[in-house]
Amino acid sequence: MKKIKLHHVILFYIPLLFIIRLRNGLENDVWWHLKMGEYMWNSLTIPKTDLFSFTQYGTPWIMHEWFSEIILYGLYWTGGFYGMLAGNMILLGLTYYLLYKLTLLRTNSPLVSAALVAVTAGLTYQFWVYRPFILGYACFMAFLYLLELYSVNRTKMIWLLPVIMLVWVNAHGSYAMGFLLIILYFFSGVSWSRYEKIVFEHWTRRDFANLLLCLVLTVFAGLINPNGAKTLLYPFLTIGTSVITDNITEWLSPDFHSIYTKINLLVILGVFFLISLKKGSHRIVDLLLVFCFTGLYFISQRFLILYFLSMTSVAGFYISAIKNNPFKLREYHPLNILLTIFLVAAFAFSWPEKNEFGENPSDFPVHAVNYLKEKHLTGTIFNDFNWGGYLLWYRYPENKVFIDGRVDMYIDNTIEDYLTIIKAQPGALSLLEKYEPELILINKNKPLNELLKHSLTWKPVYRDETAVVYARTQK
């Protein structure tokens, strides 16, 4: 027990936060990720076209997250939601352990590093959901840590980056951040300014050659995926599609009226304030990281966690530089033991019962889907966007959906048509008839529900506090 260190305490703190996050309910997209994983697990094939919707059936599809979806379903197949819980805990533990190691590398202070990682975890735990980007976060931190380690001691572990990219490119679309990090560190050694307060990395020709070769090998590793170069272009096609960036919540720019956004802005201003307080020089790579990931966050709020993961060690460096930290290189083992006991007790007390997993009837159409199953109502179904994945998980192949969380599949006109229909805008019913769905399942509070109440073509066959199901009055 005397050897319990702060990074051990962190490893107990992260799972506890995840359990707390889990109590907020499952996220909408977990269901379709599970369905994709189940399909590949059982068929031993990776789909190249859409098989799950009736609006895009047969359309070519870049399934860029296949590896993480197989892992997710494998965890579910092994241990149900408890298996998924264990898998996420391991990945999150690895991510924040690497963050602690990186921050410790910059601060040389276990206490400052642990405190900053704890704060970062508290500010980012809303992103801890059962989705492929959990694996993406771990890969991002591995890249950032190994590049910083190379900057410090020219570690040969940098050659692990292409191997990590091989996993990353098949797991989540955030792999583009890996290329960005290598490029930032490469150009941090190119002296393009003589301003004395800007310090560039002292790369030798061999260092430049190693980084360049590492980048080339990483790009080649990125090409090793079921879709080749198309996968590498995928993130840029998504970011460049206004129908996604203007309508999908996680792709929107920050809402400056939100209290959470205001807290994030205070953190961002705090980082700039720390930079302004430091006397002497600044590492160019720190400044590049600050401006790049601050800019990405203002483009889309989904980049917020990458901002925090990249800024924690930078903030730690500036805090250590400003204040002569009295806790430097010291571990308070009795305090570590007490914290560990407290966290283990809290973790055991918070451990969820089996019935706490799964779906909440107020969030998902649990009873409506059971009705579809009991009455053997099959066929195409116009559905609420947030419930598309849930329907895929429980009703495919009996029902093919109109739309689901795979937004890249629906960027032609489907998303825009969906919004016109669900909002009951002019021409909504005629546009609905264009797709000829056999059933409708939507949230009872959607404007479309009010419109359908007066329709002669549709009749309600099921209704509860959450959802309503309509069937055609005639073929």
Taking a C-beta distance cutoff of 8 angstroms, is the pair 307, 296 a contact? yes
pTM (2 decimals)? 0.91
Q: Are residues 271 and 382 in the same domain?
A: no
- The pLDDT score that the predictor gives to residue 35 is 97
- The total number of structural domains in the chain stands at 2
pLDDT higher than threshold 90 for residue 426: yes
More confident residue, 335 or 141: 141
Q: Are residues 269 and 172 in the same domain?
A: yes
Q: Are residues 127 and 267 in the same domain?
A: yes
Q: Are residues 305 and 424 in the same domain?
A: no
Q: Which of the given ranges, 162-176, 225-239, 273-287, has the highest pLDDT on average?
A: 162-176
Domain C-terminal end among 349, 384, 405: 349
Q: Which residues contact 241 (CB under 8 A, 6 or more apart)?
A: 408, 411
Q: Is 63 exposed, middle or buried (0-12, 13-18, 19+ CB in 10 A)?
A: buried
Q: Are residues 12 and 108 in the same domain?
A: yes
More confident residue, 188 or 236: 188
For residue 1, is it within any domain? Answer: no
Taking a C-beta distance cutoff of 8 angstroms, is the pair 183, 126 a contact? no
What is the mean predicted confidence (pLDDT) over 393-404?
96
Classified as helix, coil or strand, 324 is coil
Q: Are residues 88 and 192 in the same domain?
A: yes
Lowest mean pLDDT among 46-60, 226-240, 361-375, 458-472: 226-240
Write the pLDDT tens digit of every residue in 158-201: 999 999 999 999 999 999 999 999 999 999 988 766 667 888 88
Phi and psi at residue 398, to the nearest 5°: -60, -35
User: For residue 181, which amino acid is it?
Assistant: L
Domain C-terminal end among 306, 321, 349: 349
For residue 357, is it within any domain? Answer: no
- The pLDDT score that the predictor gives to residue 185 is 96
Q: Are residues 413 and 324 in the same domain?
A: no
Print the domain residue range for 448.
366-472
Detail the DSSP E strand segments found in 307-447: 379-383, 399-401, 439-443
Domain C-terminal end among 297, 314, 349: 349
- How is 211-267 classified by DSSP, letter by letter? HHHHHHHHHHHHT-STTTHHHHHHHHHHHT-HHHHTTSGGGSPP-TTSHHHHHHHHH
Q: Are residues 51 and 157 in the same domain?
A: yes
- The pLDDT score that the predictor gives to residue 356 is 55
Query: Count of alpha carbons within 13 Å of 102, Cβ hemisphere only?
Result: 28
Q: Are residues 324 and 454 in the same domain?
A: no
CA distances from 435 to 208, 430, 473 (A): 56, 9, 17
What is the mean predicted confidence (pLDDT) over 138-145?
98
Taking a C-beta distance cutoff of 8 angstroms, is the pair 7, 97 a contact? yes
CB environment 180-218: b (16+ within 10 A), e (fewer): bbbebbbbbbeeeeeeeeebebebeeebeebbeebbeeb
CA distances from 337 to 18, 96, 111 (A): 21, 20, 14
- The pLDDT score that the predictor gives to residue 195 is 67
pLDDT higher than threshold 60 for residue 355: no
